[in-house]
Structure 1
Amino acid sequence: MNKKALPFPIGRIELIIMMASLMSLNALAIDIMLPALGLISDDFGLTGDNDRQWIVTSYIYGMAIGSILYGSLADRYGRKPIVLVTTGVYILFGLLCAVSNNYDLMLLARFIQGLAASAMGVLANSIIRDRYEGDAMARTMSTIMMVFMAVPVMAPMLGQLVLVFAPWQVIFVVLSAFGALALIWVLIRLPETLKPEDKTLINMVSVTSAWKSVILHRNAVGHVLASGLMMAPLFAFIASAQQIFYDTFDAADIFVFIFALNAIAMAFGNFINSRIVMRFGARRVSQSALLFFIFVAIIHLAVTLSGWLTLPLFVVLLAASMGMVGFTGANFSSIAMQPFGKSAGVASSFQNFTRTLISATIGGVIGLQFDGSTLPLVTGFFLCGCASFLFILWAEKGRLFRRVQTVVTKEQLSPKE
């Protein structure tokens, strides 16, 4: 498919950084909170050790449910207006979290903030799909994810830095400030990537027809389900990371650095993927990474059950697993989006909804099993990896490591700056 140039000047690099920045608002809203979970729990007098995890999971559930809303709106009104409105809501409810004096009110505000911010992932996928397809889209998404992963590296450190000088409420003000910067950038620089002739009216017939086409596309739905299962252990780790490193390993002083190391591993996986995916294809790369993920999970589970697990070994094995997630995420998403052109918004919306709901639900359940050890988390990695592989096997009808050729234009390989 031959893609037209954007209607006003914005280079590929700026587009990548902008999309990564929008997507990073979600990672920032989750990861910056981790050093403050204990303080928030103490201030609100939470009685259950795992109750603090709802500060993270309530936001993620908002992300999951909100994803279903924005595809149809973006296909009708365009990508840019929806980004601006939802970013505004993200800012307002971040400020509401800062002034909440009731834990239930805070969780509700976090849920609505996640509900709005879910648009970022949906629309980033749609905008990139407007411009690229196939392996070119996978390469671009990997580059976006590589830039995006700078946020999980820095977010806990930023949260810890805020706590040195201010109470935990200021963290939510910082979130809203970053949201305001993103809103201004989008307002000034983002072109509308949806062509006028591709806009579709919102009606239940067209929406359900688009959803039906996504649900009944075996390869697409298989990769969405596999992607959700691969993200579930990541969400479980994020939800329970503060407890694992503070309580299990007594490593509170180096928590932010260990968390950053795992984010770097994911960023490195995305970087390598962006360099090799055009050569080997998204399927070959992601399926190889998935098998290695399962292999690492088996080793991790065996070491844990044997009682030999130490903090350094846990960090090494966790980083190896996170690196493989970096290879699978962008590739699975790109493969799932490949069949959908004009309906990219609805397809991305439904796929993000399904992916995030699966990962939030399963990841939340795994995180809440925390019992003072890493066994629930490690078991989750193994089971989710195996289930993900089975869905890929089903989606590909047992034919692994094949390559589906797509037409790649010169502009997709190197768009004009």
Structure 2
Amino acid sequence: MLLALALAYAVAPLATDMYLSAFPRMTRELRTSAVGIQLTLTAFMAGLALGQLVTGSLSDRWGRRRPLLTGTAVSVVAGVLCAAAPSAELLVAARFLQGFSGAAGIVIARAVVSDRARGTGAARAFALLMVIGGVAPVLAPLTGGALVGAVGWRGIFLVLAGLAALMFLGALLLVPETLPRELRHGGGLATTFRSAGALLSDRPFLGYAIAFGFGFGALYSYLAASPFVYQHVYGFSVGGYAVTLAVNAFGFTATSAVNRRIVGRFGIRFLLRTGLTAMTVFAAALCVLAGTGLLVRAVAVPLIFATVSSLGLVAANATALAVARAPQAAGSASAILGALQFGLAAVLAPLVGLGGEDTAVPMAVAMLTSTTVAGSAVLALARSDRQGDEPA
């Protein structure tokens, strides 16, 4: 079941990373600007954010299985529409649908884990989910870099449609219903808004959710700017860029794996604070060097790797602590986490393109701002929280 959930959870990094190396080519073929192409990433992230809010509500009302199957089925169609899009504007619309439908895999995977585990046990399960799902961002840029020369960016989206079909089969055959009927609630969006209001008024939950969202905000700031920073600023080839992107994704995956092994020894909160501190320090160094013109390629590459890798200590632990505050509304809690994560990504993706294609400064500033907000939120809102420490 966890393997199938990880496959569904992988839709976001797959659909995000696989076509990034084609950004410059897409800019030429669709006769648009860098910002115009980055809007396809923005639309995808916005769809993921909104889709999680809707799907999270439906999963608390109807159970986990039905929304998961529906969302992954629509993802197949959305991938085909992306491949066939004749203009940047229609591609933006198709990407929104792809994100909205793909949200089901992310929000329900987290909700299913929340149905089955608590505390350190949940942290381990979330870390394993991210490790297995982390194979996607390692393979996606390598696969995309290889495919873009052979089948073009349209072929990449057809491959994504095929992977979505595989996700549907995995969900159909391997994921059972984990939310009993007696724990489901009705009320639709009205109940969702009430649950969301209660969760957002809970200071520790809000602190962990902000840390989760803005931690990933740093990641997506880097992802949105990376095709131009690596290829235009530092002169990487398409293949070299794909390898570098894969190495950074591997760093996040490896740190998540280490987190799973040591969380029982060091504690969820200590590892969360360690990850947030490391991200902020590395992003600050990146920002200072970029602003002073000293961010040469040999320094930029390891600093970005270190920042992204440190997120592995933040993501699973912030998730486990947040959902521990909402045991009766796991779907809604998961939806809020996802909405923050990808809503911020939707905002940051076009912003990092406003500074042009030939500088790393906007990316570095966005990464530092995100990590600073994430760390400050935990300090200000969740310092006194002790809930969620139970071992399983």
What residue is the counterpart of 1:88 in the other structure? 73
Task: Assess if the C-alpha contact under 8 Å between 2:210 and 2:374 holds in 1.
Answer: yes
Match of 2:337 in 1: 351
The residue type equivalent to 1:359 in the other structure is: A
What is the letter of the counterpart of residue 91 of structure 1?
V
What are the ranges of 5 or more consecutive residues in structure 1 without an aligned counterpart? 1-14, 413-417
1:265 is matched with which residue?
A: 251
Q: Which amino acid aligns with 1:127?
A: V
- Give CA-to-partner distance per residue, 1:108-135, whole Å, 9 cap, x none: 0111110111122111110000001112
- Rg larger in structure: 1
Q: C-alpha root-mean-square deviation of aligned residues, in Å?
A: 1.7
Q: Which residue of 2 aligns with 1:383?
A: 369
Within 5 Å, which residues of 2 pair with 1:177-196? 177-196=162-181
Question: Which amino acid is 2:369 matched to?
Answer: L
Q: Alpha-carbon deviation of 1:240?
A: 1.5
Could you tell me whether the CA contact under 8 Å between 1:145 and 1:267 is conserved in 2? yes
Pairing partner for 1:59 from 26, 44, 54: 44
Match of 2:381 among 388, 395, 412: 395
TM-score (norm. length: structure 2):
0.95
1:155-166 matches, cutoff 5 A: 155-166=140-151
Contact 1:232 1:360 in 2 (8 A): no
Q: Deviations over 1:39-58 (max 9, x none)?
A: 22211111x23322122221
Match of 1:10 in 2: none
1:174 to 159, 173, 181: 159
In 1, the alpha carbon distance for the partners of 2:310 and 2:155 equals 34
What is the aligned residue count?
391
| 1:115 is the counterpart of 2:100 | yes
- Counterpart check, 1:99 vs 2:84: yes
Q: Supply the distance in 2 between the matched residues of 1:338 and 1:344 (Cα, whole angstroms).
A: 9
Match of 1:318 in 2: 304
Residues of 2 paired with 1:363 and 1:169: CA distance? 21
Q: CA deviation at 1:207?
A: 2.5
Q: How does 1:1-400 map to 2 (within 5 A)?
A: 15-46=1-32, 48-252=33-237, 253-397=239-383, 399=384
List per-residue Cα deviations over 1:151-173 (Å, max 9, x = no partner).
11111111122223223211111
Structure 1 letter corresponding to 2:192? V
TM-aligned CA distance change 1:301 to 1:407, over 3 Å: closer
Secondary structure in 2 matching 1:50 = helix
Q: Secondary structure at the match of 1:284?
A: helix
For residues 379 and 132 of structure 1, the distance between their equivalents in structure 2, rounded to whole angstroms, comes to 37
CA distance in 2: counterparts of 1:118 and 1:125, whole angstroms: 11
- Cα shift at 1:205: 4.6
Q: CA deviation at 1:183?
A: 0.6
Distance 1:163 1:390 in 2: 41
How has the CA–CA distance of structure 1 residues 368 and 16 changed in structure 2, closer, same or farther, with 3 Å as cutoff?
farther
- Cα distance in 2, alignment partners of residues 204 and 29 from structure 1: 28
What secondary structure does 1:168 align onto? helix
Whether the 8 Å contact between 1:265 and 1:322 is mirrored in structure 2 is: yes
Which residue is 1:407 aligned to? 390
Aligned residues of 1:284 and 1:403 also touching (Cα < 8 A): no
Decide whether the 8 Å contact of 2:36 with 2:88 is kept in 1: no
Matched AA of 2:329 = S
Q: Secondary structure at the match of 2:152?
A: coil
Distance 1:166 1:217 in 2: 49
Equivalent position amino acid for 2:75 in 1? Y
Amino acid at match of 1:304: A
Q: Structure 2: which amino acid aligns with 1:122? A: V
Q: What's the TM-score once normalised by structure 1's chain length?
A: 0.89
For residue 95 of structure 1, give the secondary structure of its aligned residue in structure 2: helix
Q: Name the amino acid aligned to 2:78.
A: F
Give the superposition deviation at 1:93.
1.2
Q: CA deviation at 1:200?
A: 1.1
Whole-angstrom distance in 2 between the partners of 1:195 and 1:257: 44
Identity, in percent, stands at 25
Would you say the 8 A contact 2:221–2:367 is kept in 1? no
Q: Is the 8 A contact 1:73 1:202 kept in 2?
A: no
Instruction: Letter of the 2:273 partner, please give it.
Output: Q
Contact 1:233 1:363 in 2 (8 A): no
Alignment-derived partner of residue 9 in structure 1: none
Note the C-alpha offset of 1:363: 4.4
**Which sections of structure 2, spanning at least 5 residues, go unmatched?**
none
Q: How far 1:404 moved relative to its partner?
A: 4.6
Query: Does 292-301 or 251-260 show the bigger shift?
Result: 292-301
Instruction: Please identify, of 318-327 and 351-360, the stretch whose mean Cα deviation from structure 2 is larger.
Output: 351-360
Distance in 2, Cα, partners of 1:346 & 1:164: 42
What is the CA–CA distance in structure 2 between the aligned matches of 1:389 and 1:187, rounded to whole Å? 39
